[in-house]
């Protein structure tokens, strides 16, 4: 992500607002300082985050059973008691994003009236595609559509497998369409609206107001000069933990799927030990990538990943039932649009399993990833108008995800309904729930199963590495007071911490622990993001008045 003008540092672009001097008062209080091992740190944020992460890792390893019980309690409270809260909060983010498109704020340009985009549409769209799309494409692409169409049944659609277990062909079209629509709900504009709020706040307060590239900067209109003190420290520390646990969840899922794939292809035992070894090995590769830097490490891995992902998708599309897959994608999309309000409603629905077991986890996961992905999107979006920015961030990545999951999901559902007695998809998703194996169950029905399963494993591992490397950069930026050029050793430290947290969460309770880590940080950070919406509007009102 090199800046064509020679710098990819957001702080190198001067603010154009005449309020700039008011906004930068006291910001030198968060300047980093050179610490041990050459770390360029914002002392309080770095020290508190590092110590708290270390304590969490040690205590979870010392008391795994107790930790597992606590994790399960957090998940139960978040999904069972606060489900209405998460549904309302994310709907607010959707409405906020749509308002940015239609209100006069949409004509404001990120970086000021004279700013121009630094990347072409093609390059920008490619980077939006990469942002926020990781292991989930592989882990959930088959799992979700099949599960929703046959088990969780969003909006009360009857299952094609009746109470007696017999297949009812007449129920297949509606179940397939709603299963895909439920998947699109979790991966569509609701999630990307969360990213819009974070990325828009960082862009406005960095490019238009001249503040450091840090989460706390968005709260200057609310806190004033106190944002450079402990109030700001608390916001940045919370952002660090939100990012850490969001990434750890992705890394844990990646390890589970890689382990399952190795079992499917090579017979390697599926166990916590194997998954820990995978995390350690891949974290080691991530450390090498971090050491090589952005261009020599993560950029090349991302390019490799993009090529493999596209080829993998095209193989499934061509080798599978192509017309059925494309038709399933379209039916799912039209159902998603027509049932958008019903699927998004926080009250008055009977499908508690769908909402509490799936939707709430996703909304918490998106919120936890917001600092990570929001910073990335903000770094590549200077020069866009707010209307252009919000429209593209909501639509472009969502459409790609819809196509991917529509093709994978429709292909797997066709296999399931064509041969329900022998389908591995049915075995892994419905009969003996093994979510990490769902993709390989679908590949088992296609040609070149061994080769494509191996490519899927490689894709999962590379997603693992690039997420860890990119996440280290973001946490680095936050703990260094908004700088993006902190020393390599500091990024290596955070890459190591991410891997260790993923390990202790897996050992402390598996998937439920991963979900608990996400929801525990998403609850307070969602409040931060709600306040961020108010702060954005206040800053934009100032921009309109100035003009």
Mind listing the pLDDT tens digit for each residue in 418-463? 999 899 999 999 999 999 899 999 999 999 999 999 999 888 888 7
Digit-coded pLDDT (tens) for 292-308: 655 555 556 666 777 88
Q: d(Cα 407, Cα 399) in Å, to the nearest integer?
A: 12
> Which position has the higher pLDDT, 181 or 458?
181
Is the per-residue pLDDT at 394 higher than 90?
yes
Domains delineated in the chain: 10-546 (1.20.1740)
Whole-prediction pTM = 0.88
Mean per-residue pLDDT over the chain, rounded:
84
* Residues of the chain above pLDDT 90, percent: 40
Q: Return the biggest CA–CA distance within the chain.
A: 71
- Report for 189-198, 282-291, 460-469, 502-511: range of highest mean pLDDT: 189-198
- Cα distances (Å, whole numbers) of residue 137 to 141, 402, 403, 409: 5, 10, 11, 11
Nearest alpha-carbon partner for 44 in 240, 219, 260, 181: 240
Q: d(Cα 383, Cα 388) in Å, to the nearest integer?
A: 10
Q: d(Cα 148, Cα 183) in Å, to the nearest integer?
A: 8
SS3 letters for 88-141?
HHHHHHHHHHHHHHHCHHHHCECCCCCCCCCCCHHHHHHHHHHCCCCCHHHHHC
> 132 falls in which pLDDT band (50, 70, 90)?
low
Mention every residue, 6+ apart, whose C-beta is less than 8 A from residue 37. Answer: 489
Section 397-425 average pLDDT: 94
Is the per-residue pLDDT at 473 higher than 70?
yes
SS3 letters for 43-66?
HHHHHHHHHHHHHHHHHHHHCHHH
Read off the tokens for 524.
């307070």
- Report for 269-278, 382-391, 492-501: range of highest mean pLDDT: 382-391
Beta strands in 164-244 (DSSP E): none
* Residues of the chain above pLDDT 70, percent: 86
Section 190-213 average pLDDT: 93
Burial of 18 (0-12, 13-18, 19+ CB in 10 A): exposed
> Which position has the higher pLDDT, 323 or 137?
323
- Cα distances (Å, whole numbers) of residue 140 to 76, 383, 429, 522: 22, 35, 11, 21
């Amino acid at each position: 992500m090199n800046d064509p003008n020679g710098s990819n540092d957001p702080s190198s672009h001067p603010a154009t607002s005449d309020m700039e001097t008011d906004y930068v008062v006291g910001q030198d209080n968060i300047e980093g300082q050179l610490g041990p091992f050459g770390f360029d740190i914002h002392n309080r944020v770095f020290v508190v985050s590092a110590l708290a992460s270390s304590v969490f890792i040690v205590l979870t390893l010392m008391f795994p059973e107790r930790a597992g019980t606590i994790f399960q309690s957090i998940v139960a409270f978040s999904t069972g008691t606060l489900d209405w809260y998460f549904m309302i909060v994310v709907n607010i983010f959707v409405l906020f994003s749509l308002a940015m498109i239609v209100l006069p704020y949409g004509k404001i340009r990120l970086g000021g009236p004279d700013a121009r985009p630094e990347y072409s549409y093609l390059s920008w769209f490619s980077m939006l595609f990469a942002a926020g799309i990781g292991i989930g494409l592989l882990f959930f692409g088959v799992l979700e559509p099949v599960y929703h169409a046959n088990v969780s049944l969003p909006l009360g659609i009857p299952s094609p497998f009746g109470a007696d277990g017999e297949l009812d062909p007449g129920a297949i079209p509606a179940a397939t369409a709603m299963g895909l629509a439920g998947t699109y709900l979790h991966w569509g504009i609701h999630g990307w609206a969360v990213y819009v709020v974070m990325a828009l706040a960082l862009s406005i307060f960095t490019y238009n107001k001249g503040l450091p590239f840090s989460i706390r900067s968005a709260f200057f209109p609310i806190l004033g000069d106190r944002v450079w003190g402990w109030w700001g420290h608390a916001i940045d520390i919370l952002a660090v933990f939100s990012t850490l646990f969001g990434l750890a969840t992705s890394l844990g899922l990646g390890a589970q799927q890689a382990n399952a794939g190795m079992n499917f292809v090579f017979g390697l035992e599926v166990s916590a030990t194997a998954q820990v070894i995978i995390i350690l090995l891949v974290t080691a590769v991530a450390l090498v990538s971090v050491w090589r830097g952005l261009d020599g490490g993560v950029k090349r891995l991302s390019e490799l990943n993009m090529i493999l992902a596209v080829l993998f998708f095209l193989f499934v599309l061509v080798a599978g039932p192509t017309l059925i897959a494309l038709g399933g994608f379209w039916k799912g999309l039209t159902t998603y649009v027509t049932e958008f309000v019903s699927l998004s409603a926080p009250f008055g629905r009977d499908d508690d399993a769908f909402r509490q077991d799936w939707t709430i986890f996703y909304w918490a996961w998106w919120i936890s990833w917001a600092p990570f992905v929001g910073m990335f999107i903000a770094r590549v979006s200077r020069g866009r108008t707010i209307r252009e920015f919000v429209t593209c961030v909501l639509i472009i990545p969502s459409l790609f995800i819809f196509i991917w999951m529509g093709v994978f999901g429709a292909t797997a559902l066709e296999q399931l309904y064509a041969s329900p007695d022998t389908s591995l998809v049915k075995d892994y998703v419905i009969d003996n729930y093994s979510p990490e194996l769902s993709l390989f169950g679908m590949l088992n029905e296609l040609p070149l199963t061994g080769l494509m399963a191996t490519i899927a494993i490689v894709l999962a591992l590379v997603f693992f590495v690039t997420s860890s490397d990119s996440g280290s950069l973001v946490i680095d930026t936050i703990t260094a007071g908004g700088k993006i050029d902190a020393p390599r050793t500091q990024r290596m430290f955070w890459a190591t911490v991410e891997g260790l947290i993923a390990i202790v969460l897996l050992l402390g309770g598996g998937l439920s622990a991963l979900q608990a880590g996400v929801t525990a940080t998403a609850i307070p950070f969602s409040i931060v993001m709600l306040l961020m919406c108010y702060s954005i509007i206040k800053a934009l009102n100032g921009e309109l008045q100035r003009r």
